[in-house]
Structure 1
Amino acid sequence: MSDVLSPYMMLALLAGLGVGGGIALLVAALVGWPRKAGRGGQSTGQQLAAFLRRRGAAAVLVGLVVLVLLKWPVAAIAAGLLVMFWSQLFGGLKGEKAALAKVEALATWTESLRDTVAGSAGLEQAIAVSARNSADVLKPHLNRLDDRVRTRMPLPDALDLLADDINDGGADEVIAALKQSAGLRGAGLKQVLTDLAHKARSDVGMRRRIMTSRSPTRRSVQIVTAVIVAIVTGLRVFNPDYTEPYATVQGQLVLAVVFFFFAGSLAWLRRLAKVPEPARFLVRARAGGAR
C-alpha cells in the first residue's frame, strides 16, 4: 500500500488540502463563524483566531491519528475538519438555549418596565428598578444604561448605546418604544410594552417547542455520522484489501468528492434548522454615529 502511495503522496496531500479548504469555506458560508457577543465586539479576524486556537490542536491531533491508522490523507483532513466544526454541524443546542434565555430575559424586562410605568413612575426610575431585577444575561447592559442615565446622559443616547450592547433585533423593538416615549413623554407606553411582552412570550414558547422537536433529529444525525465513520474505519483496518483502490490518487480524489458532498449536506441541514432572528434596525453608522 505504501508503495502505491509513495510516488503520489505530495499530489494526494495537495488535493486533500484543496478539498479540505473547500469544505471549510462551504461550512463557513452555510453555517457562519462563531460569534461572541460582548461590549465593543470582536473583529472577524479575532473571532477566527480564537476559534482556531480552541479547536486547532484537537483537529490536528485527530487528523494525524487518522493518517497513521488509515494512510488516507483526504480522510485525515476530513477528520480534522469534522472535529473543528463539530459544534457547528451537529451542535447548536447551546446556542439555541442562549438565544432562548435572552428572549425570555427580554420578556421579563419588558414586563418589569410595563408594571413600573403603570405605577406612575418615570421612565428613568422604571429603568433603574428593572435593571436591579433583570436576568443575568441582561443585567450588565441594563446596569450600564442606569449608570449613563444617572450621569445625565440624554436618555435617547443612552438607549442607543444599550441597543449596541444587547445587539438583538427583539431588544431593538423595546428600545425603540422607549426612545419614542422618552422623546414625546406621552401616554400609551404601557400598552406598547404589554404587546411587546406578549410577543416575546409567544416567541419563547415557539422556541421551546422547536428545541423539543429537534432533539431526536439532532441525535439521529449524530448516530448516522458515527456509524458511517465506524464502518469506514472498520473496513480499512480489518479488510484492507477491500479498500485498497482508495489508496491510489484516483481513490483519494473520489473520497474527497464524497466527503465534500457529505459535509455540504450536513452544513445545509444545520442551516435549515436555524431559527431566523429578527433583524436589527437600531444600528449606528461606524463613522458619524447616525442611525
Structure 2
Amino acid sequence: MNGGDYLTPSLMLALLAGCGIGGGIALFVAALVGWARPAGTKVSASKQIAAFLRRRAGAAILVGLVVLVALRWPVAAVGAALLVLFWPALFGGARSERVALARVEALATWTEALRDTIAGAAGLEQAIGASARTAGDTLRPHLLTLDDRIRSRMPLSEALDRLADDLDDGGADLVIAALKQSAGLRGEGLRDVLTDLAGSARAQVGMRRRVFASRAGTRRSVQIVVGVIVSVVVGMRVFNPSYTEPYGTPQGQAVLALVLMLFAVGLVWLQRLSRVPAPKRFLVKQTGAAS
C-alpha cells in the first residue's frame, strides 16, 4: 500500500470528523453564551433561537459524538446530530396544535357565555365584562385585558382589533369580526348572532380534533419508520461490520451522504403533506402597529 492510497481515506475521514465535531462545538458554545444580536433584529426572534439551541444543541452534539465513536462514520454522526437538532420541526407540532385547539374551544365557550349573559337592554360591552372572569384559562388573560381597555374608554371596535392581535389566530378573527359587525345590536338580534357564532366555533373544534387525531397517527408512523431504519443500520454495523465496510471509505461516505440527503428530503416532504394550514388572519392592520 503506497502513501497516497493510505493518506487519502484517512485525510477525508479526518476532515469530515473535524467539520462535524467543530460544528457541534460551535453550536454548543452558541447555546451557552447566546448569539450576538445584529442591529434591527427582533428580540423575540433571537430569544426563540437561543432557547431552541439550549434545548436541542447539547443532545445533538452528544448523539453525534456517540454515533461517531460507535460507527466511525462522520457523515452518519453529522446526520444523527441534525436529526436530533431538527426533531421538533420534523415530528413535533402536537403541543402547538393542542394550544390552538384549546383556544378555539375556549372561544366557543366564551361566545356561548356572552349569549347567555346578554339580557334585556344589556350591550356587548357589559356582557364582555361579566363573562371575561369565567372564561377558560387560555382566553381569560386576553379577555380581562379587553375589558380593561373598554373600561378605559377605548372604542369597542379598536379594543376588539387589539384582542385579535393578541390572539393571533385565524379562527379567532372570524368570531371577533362578527362581534364587531354586531356590536350595535341589542337583545334578540345579538343573541342570535352569538348563537350562530358559537355553533360555528364548535364545528371548527370538531374539525380540528379530527385533523389532530389524523396527524398524530401519521407522526407515530413516521417515527416508527425512522426508528426501524436507524436500528437496522446500527445493527448491521455492529453485528456484521464486513457488510457495511465499504461505507468506511471516502466514496462510501459520499454515497451515504447522498442517501441521508434523500432521506431528509423524504422526511420534509412527509411533514409538509401532513401539515394542515390554519385559517389565515384577515383582521390585520394595514398601517404601522399601534403602541
| TM class, shorter-length | 0.7 to 0.9
Alpha-carbon distance in 2 for matches of 1:215, 1:280: 25
Alpha-carbon distance in 2 for matches of 1:108, 1:235: 55
Find out whether 1:91 has 2:98 as its counterpart. Answer: no
* Counterpart residue number, 2:258: 257
- Code of the aligned partner of 1:130: S
- Does the 8 A contact of 2:132 with 2:143 survive in 1? yes
Alpha-carbon distance in 2 for matches of 1:16, 1:257: 16
- Code of the aligned partner of 2:250: V
What are the equivalent positions in structure 2 for 1:112-261 lying under 5 Å apart?
Answer: 112-117=113-118, 119-182=120-183, 184-185=184-185, 188-261=189-262
- Code of the aligned partner of 2:202: R
* Counterpart residue number, 1:28: none
The range that moved more, 41-50 or 157-166, is: 41-50
Q: TM-score, normalised by structure 1?
A: 0.82
* Counterpart residue number, 2:57: 56
- Does the 8 A contact of 1:174 with 1:196 survive in 2? yes
Alpha-carbon distance in 2 for matches of 1:220, 1:262: 15
* Counterpart residue number, 1:66: 67
Find out whether 1:6 has 2:10 as its counterpart. Answer: yes
Displacement of 1:153: 1.9
Alpha-carbon distance in 2 for matches of 1:58, 1:162: 39
The range that moved more, 208-217 or 245-254, is: 208-217
* Counterpart residue number, 2:39: none
Alpha-carbon distance in 1 for matches of 2:263, 2:190: 52
- Code of the aligned partner of 2:75: V
After superposition, the Cα gap between the structure-2 partners of 1:273 and 1:115, relative to the gap in structure 1 and judged at 3 Å, is: same
After superposition, the Cα gap between the structure-2 partners of 1:119 and 1:69, relative to the gap in structure 1 and judged at 3 Å, is: farther
Alpha-carbon distance in 1 for matches of 2:156, 2:205: 29
- Does the 8 A contact of 2:170 with 2:278 survive in 1? yes
Displacement of 1:11: 4.4
Q: Which runs of 5+ in 2 are unaligned?
A: 1-5, 25-41
Alpha-carbon distance in 2 for matches of 1:14, 1:193: 63
Alpha-carbon distance in 1 for matches of 2:118, 2:175: 14
* Counterpart residue number, 1:82: 83
Alignment root-mean-square deviation, CA: 2.7
Q: How many residues align?
A: 266
- Code of the aligned partner of 1:82: L
Alpha-carbon distance in 2 for matches of 1:191, 1:205: 21
- Code of the aligned partner of 2:178: A
SS in 2 for 1:276: coil
- Code of the aligned partner of 1:9: L
After superposition, the Cα gap between the structure-2 partners of 1:118 and 1:261, relative to the gap in structure 1 and judged at 3 Å, is: farther
- Code of the aligned partner of 2:253: Q
Displacement of 1:67: 0.9
Relative contact order higher in (CA < 8 Å, ≥ 6 apart)? 1
Displacement of 1:288: 5.8
After superposition, the Cα gap between the structure-2 partners of 1:185 and 1:161, relative to the gap in structure 1 and judged at 3 Å, is: same
Identity of aligned residues (%): 62
Alpha-carbon distance in 2 for matches of 1:206, 1:281: 21
* Counterpart residue number, 1:109: 110
- Does the 8 A contact of 1:172 with 1:282 survive in 2? yes
Displacement of 1:213: 3.6
Alpha-carbon distance in 1 for matches of 2:244, 2:114: 66
- Code of the aligned partner of 1:287: G
After superposition, the Cα gap between the structure-2 partners of 1:16 and 1:255, relative to the gap in structure 1 and judged at 3 Å, is: farther
After superposition, the Cα gap between the structure-2 partners of 1:251 and 1:15, relative to the gap in structure 1 and judged at 3 Å, is: farther
